[in-house]
Amino acid sequence: NQASEPTVQSPVPEYSCQRSTPLKHHNSRFCEAMELLQDYAEMREGDDNYMRALAWRRASCVLKSLKFPLTNIDQLKGAKDVGKHVEKVLQSILDHGTSDEVEKVRNDPWYKKMKIFTKVFGAGTKTAQEWIEKGWTTVDEVRQNYTKGDWRLRFGLAFHEELMELVTRLEADNFTKFIKHQCETILPGISVELCGGFKRGKTHGHDIDLLFTHQSTGKEVGFLPRLLSVLESKNLILCGKWNRGTYTEEAMYSDSKRTKNNQLDHFEKWIGIIKFPKKWRKSISEEEFFSDENVSADLNSYEDSEPAKKKLKTNELSPEDIAAQSRSWIARRVDLIIAPYDQYFYALVGWTGSKQFNRDIRTYAKRTHNYAMTSHGLYDLTKRKSLPAKSEKEIFDILGVPYFPPEERNC
Ligand code: TTP
Ligand code: MN
Ligand code: MN
Ligand code: MN
């Protein structure tokens, strides 16, 4: 009967960016297991674990792109990224429904705590580890005992429960609509695009990623501070940080493309938490939406400061106090990113993701063309020149990768 079972097309394209990866696929139980092992490796230190994490992810991505449910390990013959260790885990799931290795990690007390703590906004693996070493086991315990931490952590802890509640597509659409409406007054012609997981067709997400650009390059300069002033005047900002853009083409040809504060790209952006009116969580009429319409903000008052810090100083209220207040809003994580138009389509690909899709398309660009790909552009390292693109499709064409729409980039 093996002959009648489907097998992968042979050979499977090596990079996930060369394959269609839909959101809903046929192998979620296998992928869930492998991504748990990825997760576990990512939490542990060292280059070996980093490589291990990537290996689990790549294997998971192969399974995600299969057009059929795996029923026999031989169906994977001809697939890259499926080594002996992966096969062992998959075989065990095929035979018993579970894998001992996976279940051992799932029940590992350290893993469980890391899982809880790294979900806190502002907490990476280092902070999570530090909390575990203090002997804390729940976010509540951290909240009662931890007094250090930057504004991210303080708000992340105080608003943890509601930030854990996933943002719905409807909420994301409502927020986008609201921002677009504000933009009409602030800077006509600015374009606003909902990116991230929602762009890839997810119905829920952990935040709202909005990418802005203006077709006449230069017009976008100064826009974000003005938008933030408007949001501030409407009392919609809980906390956040505005970062100036730090892009130089020069840096794209060097090995260290990361910014000083270890950000993934050099765009001007705001990362923060919005006070999301509860009425925006359901379908609402345009009228109701724009009823409290008075953009009276001083459009130039937003300074290069951390509004959260400013707030913490001028406000008597601590994040915990604010969280405890009776209020008509809930906290929602929002990223606002500004891209100059000549970098826009690269920014769009980068901020659409997935994270793994970006990794693979960048590795592919480097290995096959000696191009450095970032969210700012594509840079030919041999000829030392950049390769501009006027659409997403053009980027794929330059690279010689088949074009897949965002819904098929769920690697
Ligand atoms: P996120 O908002 O972190 O992720 P997401 O929108 O895909 O998922 P979620 O629904 O949970 O919010 O990042 C937005 C995009 O930015 C992501 O799709 C790809 C890109 N990105 C990277 O390329 N690498 C990264 O490390 C991160 C955090 C994001
Ligand atoms: Mn985190
Ligand atoms: Mn997102
Ligand atoms: Mn985000």
Mutating to test ligand 1, I would choose from 39, 358, 410, 411 the residue with most ligand atoms within 8 A of its C-beta, which is 358
pLDDT in tens, 292-324: 654 444 444 454 445 555 555 555 689 999 999
C-beta contacts of 188-196 below 8 A and 24+ residues apart:
189/214, 189/215, 189/216, 189/219, 190/214, 190/219, 190/220, 190/223, 191/215, 193/348, 195/337, 195/348, 195/351, 195/352, 195/353, 196/335, 196/351, 196/352, 196/353
Query: Which token pair is 381?
Result: 């390292």
In sequence order, the β-bridge partners of residue 208 are: 334
* 374: its two tokens: 């970032």
Distance CA 359, CA 41 (A): 17
Nearest ligand to the C-alpha atom of residue 196: 1
Residue nearest to atom 15 of ligand 1 (CA): 351
Report which ligand 1 atom has the smallest distance to the Cα of 205: 10
Q: Atom 18 in ligand 1: which residue has the minimum CA distance?
A: 353
Question: Which of the four pLDDT bands, split at 50, 70 and 90, describes residue 286?
Answer: confident
Cβ 333 vs Cβ 163: under 8 Å: yes
Cα 175 to middle of ligand 3, angstroms: 14
Residue 395 has pLDDT above 90, yes or no: yes
Cβ within 8 Å of residue 140, ≥6 positions away: none
Distance 81 CA to ligand 1 centre (A): 23
Comparing 287 with 327, which gets the higher pLDDT? 327
Q: Whose CA is nearest to atom 23 of ligand 1?
A: 355
**Distance from the alpha carbon of residue 329 to the mean position of ligand 2, in angstroms:** 23
User: Given the CA of residue 209, which atom of ligand 1 is nearest to it?
Assistant: 2
Nearest-ligand number for the alpha carbon of 271: 4
Q: Which residue has the tokens 């601590």?
A: 318
- Domains of the chain (ranges; CATH) run 2-105 (1.10.150.110), 119-164 (1.10.150.20), 167-342 (3.30.460.10), 343-408 (3.30.210.10)
DSSP codes, 358-392: HHHHHHHHHHHH-EEE-SS-EEETTTTEE---SSH
- Asked if residue 209 belongs to a known ligand binding site, the reply is yes
Angstrom CA distances, 202 to 73, 132, 171, 207, stand at: 29, 32, 13, 12
Cα–ligand 2 centroid distance for 163 (angstroms): 12
Ion ligand 3 residue ranges (Cβ < 5 Å): 196, 205, 207, 209
What residues flank ligand 1, with Cβ below 6 Å? Answer: 196-197, 202, 205-207, 209, 264, 350-355, 358
In ligand 1, the atom with minimum distance to the C-alpha of 204 is: 10
Which residue's alpha carbon is nearest to atom 17 within ligand 1? 353
33-42, 251-260, 395-404: least confidently modelled range: 251-260
Residues 104-161 have pLDDT tens digits of: 999 999 999 999 999 999 999 999 999 999 999 999 999 999 988 889 999 999 999 9
Please name the residue whose Cα sits nearest to atom 26 of ligand 1: 355
Q: Which of 77-91, 184-198, 247-261, 386-400 has the lowest mean pLDDT?
A: 247-261
Residue nearest to atom 10 of ligand 1 (CA): 205
Q: Which atom of ligand 1 is nearest to the CA of 354?
A: 18
- Between the CA of 331 and the centroid of ligand 2 the distance, in Å, is 16
Distance CA 267, CA 187 (A): 19
DSSP string, 40-109: HHHHS-SHHHHHHHHHHHHHHHHHHT-SS----GGGGTT-TT--HHHHHHHHHHHHHSS-HHHHHHHT-H
Ligand number nearest to the C-alpha of 116: 2
List residues bridging with 277 in a β-sheet: 329
Report which of 82, 74, 69 is spatially closest to residue 14, judged by C-alpha positions. Answer: 82
In sequence order, what DSSP letters do the residues of 340-354 get, joined into one string? -GGGHHHHHHHHH--
How many angstroms is it from 292 CA to the middle of ligand 4? 28
Q: Give the pLDDT confidence score for residue 177 in this predicted structure.
A: 95
Alpha helices in 118-186 (DSSP H): 125-133, 139-145, 151-158, 160-164, 169-186
Measured in Å, residue 362 CA sits from the centre of ligand 1 at 15
pLDDT for residue 291 = 66
Residue-wise pLDDT for 226-240, tens only, equals 999 999 999 999 999
Nearest CA to ligand 1 atom 21: 355
Do 261 and 124 contact (CB within 8 A), yes or no?
A: no
For residue 385, how many other CB atoms are within 10 A of its CB? 12
Minimum CA distance residue for ligand 1 atom 19: 353
Amino acid symbol at 171: E
The number of angstroms, rounded, from the C-alpha of 295 to the middle of its chain's C-alpha atoms is 31
262 CA to middle of ligand 2, Å?
Answer: 14
End-to-end CA distance of the chain, in Å? 31
Structure confidence by residue, pLDDT tens digits, 5-32: 777 666 789 999 999 999 999 999 999 9
* Minimum CA distance residue for ligand 1 atom 24: 355
**For residue 130, what are its two tokens?**
């530090």
Q: At what angle do helices 169-186 and 223-233 cross, to 10 degrees?
A: 110
Gap from CA of 155 to ligand 2 centroid (Å):
13
Pocket test for ligand 1, best of 355, 361, 376 (most atoms within 8 A of CB): 355
Question: What mean pLDDT do residues 267-274 have?
Answer: 97
How many helices (H) does the chain have, and how many strands (E)? 19, 10
For residue 259, what are the contacts with CB-CB under 8 A and spacing of at least 6?
Answer: 246, 265, 266
Whether the pLDDT of residue 378 is over 80: the answer is: yes
